[in-house]
A and B are shown apart, each in its own frame.
Chain A
């Protein structure tokens, strides 16, 4: 079983601060996805990274896939209350069409 560990589990910050969330594994993934989940809803895909070392930007969010494709990070610049939610990373491998999810980072951005 491939495991993904996310850190920190909980993060409470003030509006305007920067933050980084980490997703680590001992396994190699063919691709890695980041999702955001708001209360009462299902996870929504933010980004997919497939190449080692790849960096993708989505407005104030920067996603990086590790060179060895075992880890990833999500950096948020100037966080806003609307960024509040559960951030999940999920990896897939070449063996099948399945995603393994990390435990999530619960982010709260206070105004």
Chain B
């Protein structure tokens, strides 16, 4: 079975440009997460969807960041305009059921973003 699929794997863009990261969760999973990982701050949760509805977006750093989940099989994370400090690895993850019940969260391979 396919895991969580993210695209692009790598992106280099200029400051001020719009960046769109895409995610296809595992089929049948009802929870989707976007994380950001940097050496300085580690792995941070940006936003969490349950049944396509954003439940908690308190981790979204600024208004420049937005995320959507138009259906159960697709989500996007958009940064507009991008800044060099947004450079990081962005992970999408999905699960069935709740993490506080010990359910497994499956991560994609990440989108490596560099903003110059």
Contacts and interface: CB of A to CB of B under 8 A. Distances in A.
Interface stretch (B42-50, B63-71, B79-87): B42-50
B99 A31 contact: yes
Contacts, number: 69
Contacts of A44: 107
A42 B56 contact: no
Question: How many of chain A's residues touch chain B, expressed as a range?
Answer: 20 to 34
Interface residues of B, number: 27
B88 interface: no
Contacts of B56: 96, 98
Interface string A71-111: 00000000000000000100011111111111110000000
Interface of B: 4, 31, 33, 35, 42-45, 48, 50, 55-56, 91, 93, 95, 98-102, 104-110
Interface of A: 30-31, 33, 40-45, 48, 50, 88, 92-104
